[in-house]
Amino acid sequence: MAGVGFQRWVRTLSKGKISGISGLLPACRSGEILTYFPINIGEIAAAAKKYNIRVEDYKPIADNGEGYGDYPQLPDRSQQDRDPAYQWDHPDLRRNWNEPMHWDFDMFIRNRVDTSPTVVPWSTMCKQLFGFVGFMLFMFYLGDKFPAYQPVGPKQFPYNNLHLERGGSPDVEPEEVKNYEI
Amino acid sequence: MADYREAPLATRPKTLDPNEYFNLSPDYRRAEAERAALRAGLKRQYQLQLNNPHRKELIEDPALNRWVYARANPYNHFKATKKTSLLGALFGVAPLFILYYVFKTDRVRSFNWMCAGLWVC
C-alpha cells in the first residue's frame, strides 16, 4: 500500500532528530515518546525494550488509525482486580514504578471501572435487572390502560346547585334541584 | 489446594494459579522467569532511587511520561480510515445538523402556537 511506503520514508527521514516543542521535553529527547506502529522485527524489539515488556509478550494495539501508535495492548483488568496483599510501590494505585500503564489506566483506577469477577454471571444480572424493570413497566402500562377506582358520579352541590354563588340573582327563584332520594 | 475456589468479587491470586504448580514445561517456566526478572529489575531501580540518601529531587516515572505523552498526542498517528471517518461524522458532523433541525423546528412551532394563542405553558 502506498500509505505504508510513505510512512517508512517519513520514519527514516525523521529518525534521531526531533524538532519543535517535542525536542524540549526530556522524554522525547531520550527517545521514549510514542512512535509509529512497528512493522518489522527490529521495531517490535525496540518497542518491547522501551516499554519494559518481553518481546514475545509485546503486542501493539491494532493499527486502526485511531492514534495509538506503538503503545502496547495490556490486559483489560482494573486496578481493583490486582492483589491487595502484594507490596506495590504505589499501594493506592496498585502499581509498581515504571510498570507499563494501560492506555485506559485512568479509567481502571479503583474509584472507577472495576473488572473484578461478579458474584453471579453477567447474564443472570442482566436478566434479573431487565426482567424486573420490564415487568414493572408492563404492569404500570396495564394499570394505565385499565384503571381501577370506586364508581363516581358528577359532583353534587347544595343550595340549588350554588345558585347564588354562581352569580344568580337573589330575586329570581331558582328551580328546585333535588340531588337525593328518600 | 485442588478444591480452592476464588473468593467472591476477587480474582485468583497468582500464587494459587494452577499453572504455577502443574505447568512445568521449560518454555513456560523460562517465560515466567523472564517476566519476573523484568519486574525485579524495575523494583531494584526504584528502591535504589528511593533509598538514595543523596537524592534531592522527585523520582521520575518513565512509564508515566510515556503514557501521558501517548494520551496527549494521538493525532500524530491518526489515519482517516472507514471507521474513524464514520465516527468523526457521527459525533462531529451529524449532531450539528440534527440539533439545528430539532431546535429550529421546535422554536418555529412554539412561536406559531404563541402567535395563534394556542401556547399553554
Per-residue pLDDT of chain A (182 residues; tens, 9 = 90+): 444 555 555 555 555 444 444 444 555 555 578 888 888 999 999 999 999 999 999 999 988 888 899 999 999 999 999 988 899 999 999 999 999 999 999 999 999 999 988 888 899 999 999 999 999 999 999 999 998 888 888 888 888 888 888 877 888 777 787 777 88
Which chain A residue lies closest to B76 (C-alpha atoms)? A67
Q: Which of A68, A97, A117 sits opposite B6 (nearest CB)?
A: A117
Best interface-test mutation with A: which of B17, B48, B71 has the largest number of A CBs within 10 A?
A: B71
- Cα dist. A92→A65, A82, A103, B39, B47 in Å? 34, 11, 19, 19, 18
SS3 state at A137: helix
**pLDDT at B37 > cutoff 90:** yes
Q: Which residues in chain B have their CB less than 8 angstroms from residue A110's CB? A: none
State the sign of the Cα–Cα–Cα–Cα dihedral A51, A55, A58, A60: positive
pLDDT at A27: 53
pLDDT-based confidence at residue B112 (cuts at 50, 70, 90): very high
Cβ contact A81:A114 at 8 Å? yes
pLDDT at B10: 84
pLDDT at A5: 53
A32/B contact by beta carbon, under 8 A: yes
Q: Do B73 and A34 touch (CB under 8 A)?
A: yes
**pLDDT at B45 > cutoff 60:** yes
What's chain B's average pLDDT?
90
Cα(A1)–Cα(A12) distance, integer angstroms: 17
- A109-137: pLDDT as tens digits: 999 999 988 888 899 999 999 999 999 99
Which parts of chain B fold into alpha helices (H)? 18-22, 26-50, 62-72, 82-88, 94-116
Q: Cα distance from A161 to chain B (closest Cα, Å)? A: 31
Please report, rounded to a whole number, the percentage of residues in chain B having pLDDT higher than 70: 98
Predicted model pTM: 0.73
pLDDT at A87: 93
Q: Do B78 and A66 touch (CB under 8 A)?
A: yes
- A134-151: pLDDT as tens digits: 999 999 999 999 988 888
All cell numbers assigned to A120? 453471579
Left, alpha or beta for A133 (phi > 0: left; psi -120 to 50: alpha)?
A: alpha
Cα(B36)–Cα(B98) distance, integer angstroms: 54
Cα(A89)–Cα(A97) distance, integer angstroms: 6
A171/B contact by beta carbon, under 8 A: no
All cell numbers assigned to B102? 430539532
Left, alpha or beta for B93 (phi > 0: left; psi -120 to 50: alpha)?
A: alpha
Length of chain B counted residue by residue: 121
